Amino acid sequence: MTKVAVIGRGLIGGSIEKSARRAGHEAVVFRGRGPTPDLSSFDIVFLAAPPAAICALADAIDAKGSLRDGAVVVDIAGVKRPIYDHMRKFVGTRRWFFVPGHPMAGREKPGYENSCENLFDGASMIITPFPETPESVLSGLEPFFRSLGFSMVVRTDPDHHDGMIAFTSQLCHLISSAYVREPLVRDHVGYSAGSFRDMARVGAPDPDTWTELFFANRESLLPVLGRYVERMEDFRDALEQNDRVRMHRALEESVEAKATFGKGLK
């Protein structure tokens, strides 16, 4: 049994607490605001706070000095480079270990009241560990993550993480957010089915959370968004110029691209 502390009583923090208890671990969730709790008895501490608060929270925990030797601190932020750079100062200078993390799971509705014990079932947990982190620490985390329901643990570096998340998550939220602002959406009933639901599903992201995420990952998100805009402009230009060959070619490229990764979709 692992003793788990979660700081941040939101959707992800609450789901970590509940999934840990389901797996037979001892788990406690604390609010992210207020005095730093005593963490001396915990094996793993999750920082389930917005990216801008992670570093200050880690600094406060370190200043209190209550982490036991060998404890592991894991954040859950959706952007890794700024956190990785800030937390490097602790590498090799403390008896506890920081492992940047990102659970690839979520729901449209935030808050502890929407958290659940099976949120991570079948999901992946991404970690961007420091090269100096002992393998024994990382290999010890993997079975713990799997006990929460994660089907895989992906190790990568912070820049690759941020680039991939810009594409697989953040761009999707931007596209959906733009899509649902079309005036015709008011009359969709009777005209919409699966395609509409898929496109609109993440079209109402929490403005505070996602504005922070978009700007924290601005350098990775801008080029991904730019390439997407170019492809949409290609469709628009083909229509404006009545160029059926150009449209057909673009759609063929989409079919070929989907064939290269489509089997991996669930």
Do residues 18 and 4 touch, judged by C-beta distance below 8 A?
Answer: no
3-state secondary structure 88-135: HHHCCCCCCEEECEEECCCCCCCCHHHCCCCCCCCCEEEECCCCCCCH
Instruction: State the Cα–Cα distance between residues 21 and 170, nearest whole angstrom.
Output: 30
> How would residue 266 be classed by pLDDT, with cut points 50, 70 and 90?
low
CA torsion angle for 58, 32, 163, 203 (degrees, to 10)? -170
What average pLDDT score do residues 233-261 get?
96
Tokens of 88: 């490097």
Q: Which residues lie closer than 8 Å to 94 by C-beta, 6 or more apart? A: 62, 67
Beta bridge partners of 99: 74
| pLDDT tens digits for range 144-194 | 999 999 999 999 999 999 999 999 999 999 999 999 999 999 999 999 999
Do residues 7 and 30 touch, judged by C-beta distance below 8 A?
Answer: yes
Do residues 156 and 128 touch, judged by C-beta distance below 8 A?
Answer: yes
Domain architecture of the chain: domains with CATH: 3-156 (3.40.50.720), 160-264 (1.10.3660.10)
> How would residue 34 be classed by pLDDT, with cut points 50, 70 and 90?
confident
